[in-house]
Amino acid sequence: MISLAFDFTSDRRSIAIATSTKLLAEVVHAETRETPAFALIEKVLTEASVDRSQVQRLIIAIGPGSYTGIRIAISVAQGWHLATGVEVVPVDTFEALRLAATREARFRTPWTFAVDAQRNEFATRTWTGSHWETPVKLLEASRLVEMLANGQVLLGPELGRWFRGLGDSHTGGASAEMCELYSSARDSFNAAVGVNPVSPELLTPIYLRKVEFVKSIPSRDLSGITV
The pLDDT mean for the chain works out to 86
CB contact set of 133 (below 8 Å; sequence gap of 6+): 110, 126, 127
> In whole angstroms, what separates CA 122 from the centre of its chain?
13
Q: What is the pLDDT of residues 57-70, one digit of tens each?
A: 999 999 999 989 99
Same domain (yes/no): 25, 81? yes
Number of domains in the chain: 2
Cβ-Cβ contacts under 8 Å for 192 (sequence gap 6 or more): 3, 5, 59, 89, 91
Q: Kindly state whether residues 143 and 193 are assigned to the same domain.
A: no
Tell me, yes or no, whether 123 and 81 share the same domain: no
Q: Which domain holds residue 149?
A: 94-180
Domain assignment present for residue 224? The answer is no
Question: Are residue 147 and residue 46 in the same domain, yes or no?
Answer: no
- Across 3-8, average pLDDT: 97
In terms of domains, do 159 and 86 share one? Answer: no
Same structural domain, 104 and 82 = no
pLDDT digit string, tens, across residues 7-32: 999 999 999 999 988 999 999 998 77
pTM above 0.75, yes or no: yes
User: CATH code at 23?
Assistant: 3.30.420.40
Per-residue pLDDT for 227 more than 50?
no
CA–CA separation, 152 and 154 (whole Å): 6
Residue 62 shares a structural domain with residue 106: no
Same structural domain, 160 and 172? yes
Same structural domain, 111 and 169: yes
